[in-house]
């Protein structure tokens, strides 16, 4: 996975210290300073929630905190994945209907 | 440290984009206490977005000439010693008071004056498949590349209308993404007609020339009078159907063709973020060319509410140059209130000139009502509440054609984005008429915050 | 030639929609019905309230009235599942030993009408509703209640009415400016769209019913706006799955008000928890009550207290995003009974208004009882407690 992940980073932006968090239990490596949405995008995890009525997959859309499409659950609280910076050990779960 | 979670400053600035940074720095340099509240994690806003700290080799990402201004400005801003609250979501306001959430805590900023510079967001026009993962706003791709150094995909479609399509293309190119198509819905003729208004503005011309060179070098041609008809794919976007549109934006279905893409950036211009201004009771007017509802301000950037100033996109889409010029005027007007020093004519003239140039450019990208024919009866118009177009139409037919009637009739616009995404197109889509959108009723919270934040808000 | 109608219903809230819904079924097929509202359909009180379908077991009359209406809502949803209906039941939550003693009393009330409700101990309570605080002493579970989205429900009623053989004309954005009378009887309605000649008018304008009555030269109807501050969470996290009411809600909401509703400055306001999970995941949080005229500005302090109290029962609410807060105005009738029936001083004038916080729940039975009276049919249940004539002296 990490190889594919690095392909989703622009080369030459320098090494930065890594952090790890879980997404629906799966360990995801990220860079410090990444938002949850960007770390998951790099990891190839685009689907962040199921839509409220028809359950269709939804992903990052505006990436600037406007559309609330990327809502995920972090330690019980609903947050926007695109505005929330990842921390080491964070537990992130997919949003939407169970 | 501050168990009451109340802070005081003379001026509270909302937004650390070009307008907010200029106003904040100018006031701080004049010795006025300022607190800037910004939802981003670093100053810059959307247009002057900075790469994460520690990211080396920033030159890797192609930046147009204007970006040097941004770097300069963020430097000046940092040097001015302005107190900045990053990651702060302002969720309620009244004159002299701004309530915000930061790191899950509920705060109150007490300030005698407020400068609103919250910027803008992408205008969305629904088309079949726009809810598929991999279809994003043009602005979202900019954030990905320029804010985080993330490669959005391998093959991209950039589509929409307005001057921000070009920076989206160049950002993608510098991230090594193949831009399969870059489609501008407006006609080239409109752009030519708008040229005389821009011609006197050298920086805008220099900027345009820079983009033209970049696209030429990459072999990407901006196609005028084209747009996306639909996105398709199994669980994520894999194909896009594109085609020509008429002068009014109406799709010409006979020209449809399919291209393979794995990421789409769509932006049909920008919408001013007026919500906080409306919550404060500021007067507004509808200006379709400037993106919709805009706060009305006088020549000193004063809104209709005493002590509340506004600068940049919230007064109508205008871009960074306008925002910076108006931010200066707003700061100068506050200094006038405090010290009696008049607002320099030169500042006002510059702001007015930038507005004229920007308005001239926007004329080339006037909203195209025919683009509302992209959505099909089963196309979702409200992404939050999963409302398809046909339900919105039924609601307008039965409950009434006002924004309120459509909302109660189908729940479109009642979700957490509070109609920021669907609202600007909702009435036109539901009524089938190119109507001006009603002034939205802004309720508390201005952006969603958790119940605990509301309950624990410091009284004020 | 002036437009004519057999019945003009004024007020496109849930009550007016229900009246039209039933008139369309009971009137002869050549009949012409017009529904007018100066705003959107279901855009005022019905668009800013909760959606509790509530069976009230206080006495035999109330039970028959409320349970018939909740059943009619269920049947409407079975025919037209186009509006959200969440058959969640209701948990009456105890917080104190005194509350706990009330649970069997309330249970017995349901049993007296041949219905059933269940007293739950703490483990049973947690199993029924995992989202509750763990220190609650118990609750009464009544399975018959539910939650609807009233605006979409109103639309469903009108669409069904339009499928009948009568002519139904729905006119949002059409205000009433006055009436013509022919002696002691209604002759015409003047609207923003012109004059409609009619011999039957229904005043279903809720908190605005006194204003409309005034246009006919009638004394002030004893209906007063009672404000409620509400909040709704985003649909992504549902703090609960069953509707919650604290036991004190019954005393708070269903008694005759302890303050003078005719004054707009004398009511400090109060609150009792009612949380309503919607089918798509959002959760309504209420409720507060305060008389202060037509003022619809938020009472922050009251709202905060009410949210805080709700967090005490459903701790997950604290971290749930609130999407919107607002104020709705309940049409409170001074003796706590709605006004349903003719207004004797003006022949041809009928009233259906004054349901306070139960307008959504009681809309179907109200529409039926009024339509039966207009059509000259005998009412489905005893309607005499609701006759407006009690105020016409």
Element (H, E) at B309: strand B308-310
CA distance C388 to chain A (A): 42
CA atoms within 13 A on the CB side of C217: 9
Residue A54 has pLDDT above 70, yes or no: yes
The answer to whether the beta carbons of residues B112 and B307 sit under 8 Å apart is: yes
| A51 touching chain C per CB within 8 A | no
Interface residues of chain A, partner chain B, Cβ below 8 Å:
7-14, 16, 31, 33-35, 38, 41-42, 46-47, 51-54, 56-69, 71, 77-78, 82-83, 85
Give C-chain residues touching A97 at CB under 8 angstroms: 281
Q: Taking CA B102 as the corner, what is the angle to CA B101 and CA B104, rounded to the nearest 5 degrees?
A: 80
Return the pLDDT at B428: 96
Which of C172, C317, C326 shows the shortest C-beta gap to B400?
A: C172
- Whole-angstrom CA distances from C238 to B44, B136, B444 are 36, 27, 20
Please check whether residue C314 is in contact with residue C286, taking contact to mean a CB–CB distance below 8 angstroms.
no
Verify whether the Cβ–Cβ distance A73 to C234 is below 8 Å.
no
pLDDT of residue A2: 38
Residue A52 touches chain C, beta carbons under 8 Å: yes
Q: What is the largest CA-CA distance in chain B?
A: 66
Q: B405 to chain C nearest CA, in Å?
A: 5
Nearest to A68 among B55, B144, B448 (CB): B448
Q: What is the pLDDT of residue B457?
A: 96
Which chain A residue has the Cα nearest residue B138?
A62
The residue of B91, B405, B411 whose CB has the most chain C CBs within 10 angstroms, and thus the best one to mutate to test that interface, is B405
Q: Chain B residue with minimal CA distance to C314?
A: B451
How far apart (Å, rounded) are the C-alpha atoms in residues C128 and B175?
A: 52
Nearest CA in chain B to A74: B104
At C197, give phi and psi (nearest 5°). Answer: -75, 130
Interchain contact, B443 vs C326, CB within 8 Å: yes
Collapse the DSSP code of B184 into the 3-class scheme (helix H, G, I; strand E, B; otherwise coil) and give the result. strand
Tens of pLDDT, residue by residue over A13-38, are 655 678 999 999 999 999 888 999 99
Residue with tokens 């937004």: B15
**Residues C25 and C187 sit within 8 Å (Cβ to Cβ):** no
User: What was the pLDDT predicted at A1?
Assistant: 36
* C280 closest CB neighbour out of A52, A76, A78: A52
Q: Which of A16, A54, A64 sits opposite B139 (nearest CB)?
A: A64
Q: Which residues of C touch B384 (CB under 8 A)?
A: 235
Cα separation of B428 and A70, whole Å?
27
Q: Phi first, then psi: what are they for C95, rounded to 5°?
A: -125, -25
Which parts of chain C have pLDDT scores under 70?
A: 1
What whole-number distance in Å separates Cα of residue C109 and Cα of residue B18?
66
Nearest Cα neighbor of B269 from B395, B398, B363, B384 is: B363
Q: Taking CB atoms and an 8 Å limit, are B452 and C233 in contact across chains? A: no
Structure tokens at A41: 């995008």
**SS3 track for chain C:** CCEECCEEEECCCHHHHHHHHHHHHHCCCCCEEEEECCCCCCCCHHHCCCCEECCCCCCHHHHHHHHHHHHHHHHHHHHCCCCCEECCCEEEEECCHHHHHHHHHHHHHHHHCCCCCEEECHHHHHHHCCCCCCCCCEEEEECCCEEECHHHHHHHHHHHHHCCCCEEEEECCCCEEEEEEECCEEEEEEECCEEEECCCEEECCHHHHHHHHHHCCCCCCCEEEEEEEEEEECCCCCCCCCEEEECHHHHHHHCCCCCCCCCCCCCCCEEEEEEEECCCCCEEEEEEEECECECCCCCHHHHHHHHHHHHHHCHHHHHCEEEEEEEEEEEEECCCCCEEEECCCCECEEEEECEHHHHHHHHHHHHHHHHHHHCCCCCCCCCHHHCHHHHCC
Which of left, alpha, beta for B244 (phi over 0: left; psi -120 to 50: alpha)?
Answer: beta
**C371 part of contact set with chain B, CB < 8 Å:** no
User: Chain A contacts of C281, Cβ < 8 Å?
Assistant: 52, 97
Cα separation values, C364 from C53, C78, C227, C345, Å: 11, 14, 23, 26
Would the ipTM clear 0.90, i.e. be above it? yes
Which residues 6+ apart lie within 8 Å of C346 measured at CB? C181, C184, C185, C186, C216, C218
Per-residue pLDDT of chain B (460 residues; tens, 9 = 90+): 577 899 999 999 999 999 999 999 999 999 999 999 999 988 888 888 777 665 545 567 778 888 788 889 999 999 998 999 999 999 999 999 999 999 889 999 999 999 999 999 999 999 999 999 999 999 999 999 999 999 999 999 999 999 999 999 999 999 999 999 999 999 998 888 777 777 777 888 888 889 999 999 999 999 999 999 999 999 999 999 999 999 999 999 999 999 999 999 999 999 999 999 999 999 999 999 999 999 999 999 999 999 999 999 999 999 999 999 999 999 999 999 999 999 999 999 999 999 999 999 898 899 999 999 999 999 999 999 999 999 999 999 999 999 999 999 999 999 999 999 999 999 999 999 877 789 998 999 999 999 999 999 999 8
Contact B131 A38 (CB under 8 A): no
Q: How many CA atoms lie within 13 A of B164 on its CB side?
A: 26
Assess contact for C306 and C279: CB atoms under 8 A: no
pTM attached to this predicted model: 0.95
Q: Does A48 touch chain C (CB under 8 A)?
A: no
Coil/strand/helix, residue B421: coil
Instruction: Assess C158–B contact: CB distance below 8 Å, yes or no.
Output: yes
Cβ separation of B401 and C173 shorter than 8 Å? yes
Tokens matching residue B435: 């109507």
Chains adjacent to B (≥3 CB pairs closer than 8 angstroms): A, C
The count of CB pairs under 8 A between chains A and B is 134
Query: Closest-CA residue in chain A for B448?
Result: A68
Which string of b and e fits A64-96 if b means at least 16 CB within 10 Å? bbbbbbbbbbbeebbbbbbbbbbeeebebbbbb
pLDDT at A3: 41
Q: Inspect the interface and report whether the beta carbons of C234 and A78 lie closer than 8 Å.
A: yes
A·C CB contacts under 8 A: 25
Q: Are C392 and C95 in contact (CB under 8 A)?
A: no
**Which among B405, B418, B444 has CB closest to C40?**
B405
CA distance B34 to chain C (A): 27
Residue in chain B lying closest to C154 (CA): B409
Which candidate from C237, C280, C281 shows the least CB-CB separation from A73?
A: C237
User: Which structure tokens are listed for A10?
Assistant: 């622009």
Is the Cβ–Cβ distance between B101 and B354 less than 8 Å?
Answer: no
What is the reported pLDDT for A15? 55
pLDDT the model gives residue B192: 82
> Cα–Cα–Cα angle for C102, C107, C108, nearest 5°?
100
Complete DSSP assignment for B336-372: HHHH-PPPPHHHHHHHHHHHHHHHHHHHTT---GGGG
CA pair distance A32, A19, nearest whole angstrom: 6
Q: CA quadruple C53, B391, A65, B307: dihedral positive or negative?
A: negative
């Amino acid at each position: 996975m990490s190889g594919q992940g690095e392909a989703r980073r622009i080369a030459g932006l320098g090494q930065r210290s890594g952090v790890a968090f879980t997404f629906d239990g799966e360990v995801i490596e990220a860079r410090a300073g990444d938002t949850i949405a960007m770390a998951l995008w790099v990891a190839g995890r685009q689907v962040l929630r199921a839509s409220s009525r028809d359950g269709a997959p939804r992903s990052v859309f505006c990436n600037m905190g406007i559309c609330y499409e990327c809502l995920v659950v972090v330690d019980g609280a609903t947050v926007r994945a695109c505005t929330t910076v990842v921390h080491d050990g964070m537990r992130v779960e997919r949003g939407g209907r169970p | 440290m501050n168990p009451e979670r109340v802070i005081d400053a003379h001026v509270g600035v909302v937004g650390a984009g070009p307008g907010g940074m200029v106003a904040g720095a100018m006031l701080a340099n004049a010795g006025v206490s300022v607190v800037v509240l910004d939802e981003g994690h670093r100053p810059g806003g959307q247009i002057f977005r900075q790469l994460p700290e520690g990211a080396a080799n920033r030159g890797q990402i192609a930046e147009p000439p204007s970006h040097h201004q941004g770097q300069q400005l963020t430097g000046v801003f940092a040097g001015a010693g302005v107190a900045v609250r990053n990651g702060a979501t302002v969720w309620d306001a009244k004159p002299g008071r701004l309530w915000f959430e930061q790191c899950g805590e509920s705060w109150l900023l007490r300030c005698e004056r407020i400068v609103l510079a919250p910027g803008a967001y992408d205008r969305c026009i629904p088309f079949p498949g726009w809810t598929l993962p991999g279809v994003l706003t043009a602005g979202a791709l900019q954030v990905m590349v320029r804010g985080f150094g993330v490669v959005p995909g391998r093959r991209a479609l950039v589509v929409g209308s307005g001057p921000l399509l070009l920076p989206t293309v160049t950002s993608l190119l510098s991230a090594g993404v193949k831009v399969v198509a870059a489609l501008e819905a407006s006609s080239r003729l409109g752009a030519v007609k708008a040229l005389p208004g821009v011609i006197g503005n050298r920086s805008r011309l220099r900027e345009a020339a820079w983009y033209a060179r970049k696209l030429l070098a990459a072999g990407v041609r901006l196609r005028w009078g084209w747009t996306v008809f639909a996105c398709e794919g199994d669980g994520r976007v894999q194909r896009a159907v594109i085609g020509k549109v008429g002068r009014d934006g109406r799709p010409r279905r006979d020209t449809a063709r399919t291209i393979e893409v794995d990421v789409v950036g769509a932006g049909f211009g920008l919408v001013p973020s007026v919500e906080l201004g409306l919550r404060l009771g500021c007067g507004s007017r509808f200006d379709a060319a400037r993106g919709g509802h805009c706060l009305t301000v006088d020549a000193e950037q004063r809104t209709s509410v005493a002590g509340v100033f506004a600068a940049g996109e919230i007064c109508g889409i205008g871009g960074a140059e306008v925002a910076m010029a108006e931010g200066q005027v707003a700061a100068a007007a506050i200094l006038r209130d405090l010290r009696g020093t008049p607002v320099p004519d030169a500042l006002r003239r510059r702001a007015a000139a930038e507005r004229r140039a920007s308005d001239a450019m926007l004329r080339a990208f006037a909203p195209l009502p025919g683009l509302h024919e992209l959505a099909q009866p089963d196309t979702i118009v409200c992404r939050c509440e999963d409302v398809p177009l046909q339900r919105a139409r039924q609601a307008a037919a039965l409950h009434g054609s006002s924004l309120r009637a459509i909302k109660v009739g189908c729940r479109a616009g009642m979700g957490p984005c509070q109609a920021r995404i669907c609202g600007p197109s909702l009435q036109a889509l539901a009524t089938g008429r190119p109507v001006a959108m009603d002034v939205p009723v802004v309720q508390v919270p201005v952006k969603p915050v958790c119940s605990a934040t509301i309950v624990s808000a410091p009284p004020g | 030639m002036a437009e004519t109608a057999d019945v003009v219903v004024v007020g496109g809230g849930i009550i007016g929609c229900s009246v039209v819904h039933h008139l369309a079924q009971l009137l002869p097929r050549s009949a012409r019905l017009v529904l007018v509202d100066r705003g959107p359909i279901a855009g005022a009180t019905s668009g800013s309230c909760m959606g509790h379908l509530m069976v009230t077991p206080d006495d035999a009359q109330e039970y028959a009235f409320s349970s018939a209406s909740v059943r009619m809502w269920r049947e409407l949803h079975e025919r037209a599942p186009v509006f959200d209906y969440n058959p969640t039941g209701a948990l009456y939550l105890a917080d104190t030993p005194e509350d706990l003693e009330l649970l069997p009393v309330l249970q017995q009330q349901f049993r007296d009408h041949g219905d059933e409700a269940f007293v739950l101990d703490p483990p049973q309570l947690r199993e029924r509703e995992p989202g509750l605080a763990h220190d609650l002493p118990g609750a009464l579970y009544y399975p018959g209640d539910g939650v609807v989205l009233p605006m979409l429900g109103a639309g469903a009623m009108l669409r069904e009415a339009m499928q009948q053989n009568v002519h139904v004309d729905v006119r949002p954005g059409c205000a009433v400016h006055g009436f013509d009378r022919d002696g002691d009887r209604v002759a015409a309605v003047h609207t923003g769209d012109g004059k409609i000649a009619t011999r039957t008018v229904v005043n279903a304008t809720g908190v605005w019913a006194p204003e409309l009555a005034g246009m006919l030269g009638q004394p002030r109807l004893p209906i007063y706006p009672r404000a409620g501050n509400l909040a709704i969470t985003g649909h992504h996290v549902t703090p609960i799955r069953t509707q919650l009411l604290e036991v004190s809600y019954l005393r708070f909401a269903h008694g005759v008000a302890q303050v003078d509703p005719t004054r707009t400055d004398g009511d400090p306001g109060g609150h009792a928890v009612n949380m309503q999970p919607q089918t798509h995941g959002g959760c309504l949080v209420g409720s507060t009550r305060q008389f202060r005229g037509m003022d619809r500005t938020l009472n922050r302090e009251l709202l905060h207290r009410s949210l805080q109290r709700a967090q005490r029962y459903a701790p997950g609410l604290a971290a749930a995003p609130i999407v919107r807060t607002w104020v709705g105005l309940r049409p409170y009738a001074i003796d706590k009974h709605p006004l349903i029936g003719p207004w004797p001083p003006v022949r041809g004038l009928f009233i259906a208004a004054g349901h306070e916080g139960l307008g959504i729940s009681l809309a179907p039975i109200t529409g039926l009882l009024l339509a039966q009276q207009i059509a000259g049919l005998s009412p489905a249940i005893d309607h005499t407690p609701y006759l407006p004539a009690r105020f016409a002296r």
